Amino acid sequence: MSYTVLARKYRSRTLDDLVGQEPIATTLKNAIRTGRVHHGFLFTGTRGVGKTSSARLLAKSLNCLAHDEPTPVPCCECESCLRIAEGEDIDVIEIDAASNTGVDNIRDLRESAAYRPARARFKIYIIDEVHMLSTGAFNALLKTLEEPPDHVKFILATTEIHKVPATIVSRCQRFDFRSISINEIAAHLEVILKEEGVATDSAVTRRVARLANGSMRDGLSLLDQLLSFGGGELSTELLDDVLPVAHDEVVAAMMDGIADEDAAGALACVEQSLISGQTIDRYCEITVNHLRTLMLISICGADTELIDLPATVREQLVVQAARFDAATYVYMISLMEEVRRIVKSSNASRAIIDAAVVRLALARNFSNIEQLLATIDSEVPPEDRAAPRTSGRRSVTPTTSRPAAPPAERTQPKAPPARAKSTVSSAEEASVRRDPGVEQALDLFDGTLLSVHRAEPATTKTNTQDATDDPANNSSTQGDN
């Protein structure tokens, strides 16, 4: 007994069935109905949103043998329709540009395009991942795209439209496929489960839909996976056993940790997401998207149409959005985006993302980290100064990892250990804290005075060395003491 995967078993038969891309389906159907079918189509969008399926549906509409002319409703039974659905039709040639990148492949294509179709109305070339073509291949393709024979149609598909030359784009009718919403994926999954006679509830389908990341194909694969474990019933318990965590839920939990200033809790969320297979890059991306949603709710109100969310999720996010103000979201987004940029080229990407999370969770302490550290610097006795300075503190920015752990410790509990080393009496320390100059400096830097040390005469030598290195710093040390 062979098992047909759901994506195949329930694939759309006509443009009418296309889930989540209704505007595109409507435009294509109208073009067919009015006889204004372009000779070149360019389908762009992320993976699994229906580009190849749509290309085949369009091909069926153009070539269905049961009709005398192109039709929005192909029969799905004629030889042409059946073959196209399998991707094996003699007149509908599917080319994977990823493995046929060369100019020769396109020359072959041009030669074969000259011959009329064997059986149907049009010879249709579906070129998948077209951005992978070489420059020479693009140039060869361009010539055919400019003036193709009447019997030829091109359907180009790409996940990376920015890599397709403008000359190609401008010769095609472009369709931007959007990510399919959680609601649409969940609804489709429910229909399929009903057909399959599998009992489930909406919590399950919603969770799968969220994990699908806007890709119907991913949603169906996950469902396949669940069904092979579940044996006729899908419960949320099974989901927990089989499926990875829903990363957007983890990111939401992380944001709660950050809002509670619970750095450990927030870090645990990162860990949970990464061990379940998420890449750091993608984790940053999800976080940025989540922050954007919170920012939009914060700025535009709970009912904003700028975000596409089901009511239940929206309610939760409205509560979360109130925990920070818009300016903080702007800061967080820029920080996470910077982190995302850096982790791509760093060997310490895990440390960087952890550091960023700690930084956000302890934002109050970190609000002016450079200035704060400068303040500390000027208070640390000179003999203690050399080590921290070379440990990279100068490069503390929201985006580097190395300094994060030390600053976290450094700023946490107003540093009792440091105070223990202090050689001044509490009365002296109190007077330093009251000193108008110190208060001004702290105000200016939005800083906190961690500890007060006395400059020992014995340190003059190091002090002098310091002076040659950095006279400004030296004078500030003198001033503070």
Site string for Zn ion, 5-44 (x = CB under 5 A): ----------------------------------------
User: Whole-number minimum distance, CB 75 to Zn ion, in Å?
Assistant: 4
Upper half-sphere CA count for residue 64 (Cβ side, 13 Å):
20
How many chain residues interact with Zn ion (CB under 5 A)? Answer: 6
Please report how many Cα atoms fall inside a 13 Å half-sphere around the Cα of residue 459, on the Cβ side.
Answer: 17
Q: Which is nearer to Zn ion, 91 or 184 (CB)?
A: 91
Among candidates 53, 75, 71, which has minimal Cα distance to 7? 53
Q: Is the dihedral of CA 323, 325, 329, 332 positive or negative?
A: negative
Give bridge partners of residue 92 from the DSSP assignment: 124
Q: How far is the CB of 349 from Zn ion (least distance, A)?
A: 51
How far apart are CB 79 and Zn ion at their closest, in Å? 8
**Residues of this chain, 41-100, that bind Zn ion according to CB under 5 A:** 64, 66, 74-75, 78, 81
| Amino acid (1-letter code) at residue 308 | D
Residues within window 405-424 making contact with Zn ion, judged by CB under 5 A: none
SS3 412: coil
Alpha-carbon span 440 to 450, nearest angstrom = 15
Q: How far is the CB of 148 from Zn ion (least distance, A)?
A: 23
d(CA 350, CA 141): 43
Looking at the Cβ atoms of 25 and 220, the one nearer to Zn ion is: 25
Q: Shortest Cβ distance from residue 74 to Zn ion (Å)?
A: 5
Neighbours of 415 (CB within 10 A): 16
H helices of 301-381, in order, are 311-321, 326-343, 349-361, 363-366, 369-379
For Zn ion, the closer of residues 64 and 189 by Cβ is 64
**Which DSSP category does 129 fall into?**
T
- The type of residue at 413 is P
Nearer residue to Zn ion within complex by CB, 78 or 361: 78
Select 131 or 153, whichever has its Cβ closest to Zn ion. Answer: 153
Least distance from Zn ion to the Cβ atom of residue 67, Å: 7
Token pair 């959007």 in the structure block, residue: 178
Structure tokens at 32: 């067919």
Q: Distance between CA atoms of 353 and 271, rounded to whole angstroms? A: 10
Nearest approach in angstroms of CB 84 to Zn ion is 9
Work out how close the CB of 71 gets to Zn ion at its nearest, in angstroms, rounded to a whole number: 8
List CB contacts of 251: < 8 A, sequence separation 6 or more: 269, 273, 283, 286, 287, 290
Nearest distance, CB of residue 76 and Zn ion, angstroms: 6
- The residue (of 153 and 210) whose beta carbon lies closer to Zn ion is 153
Q: How far is the CB of 56 from Zn ion (least distance, A)?
A: 12
CA distance 192 to 216: 12
Q: How far is the CB of 63 from Zn ion (least distance, A)?
A: 8
Q: Does 187 bind Zn ion (CB under 5 A)?
A: no
Q: Which is nearer to Zn ion, 126 or 168 (CB)?
A: 126
Q: How far is the CB of 13 from Zn ion (least distance, A)?
A: 10
CA 362 to chain centre: 24
Binding to Zn ion (CB under 5 A): which residues in 345-404?
none
Of 79 and 176, which CB lies nearer to Zn ion in the complex structure?
A: 79
63 vs 349, beta carbon nearer Zn ion: 63
Per the structure block, which two tokens stand in for 248? 């957007």
**DSSP assignment of 259-304, as one string?**
HTT-HHHHHHHHHHHHHTT--HHHHHHHHHHHHHHHHHHHHH-TT-
Residues 6+ apart with CB under 8 A from 15: 25, 28, 29, 54, 57, 58, 61, 72
Helix, strand or coil, per DSSP, at residue 124: strand
- Residue 60 CB, nearest approach to Zn ion (Å): 6
Closest CA to 205 of 196, 109, 154: 196
Task: Copy the structure tokens of residue 354.
Answer: 């952890």
DSSP reduced 3-state for 167? helix
Quickly count: other Cβ atoms within 10 Å of residue 323's Cβ: 14
57 vs 106, which CB is nearer to Zn ion? 57
477 with 455: CB under 8 angstroms? yes
Q: Which is nearer to Zn ion, 56 or 171 (CB)?
A: 56
Which is closer to Zn ion, CB of 81 or CB of 263?
81
Residue 71 or 273 with smaller CB distance to Zn ion:
71
Give me the residues that bind Zn ion (CB under 5 A), please: 64, 66, 74-75, 78, 81
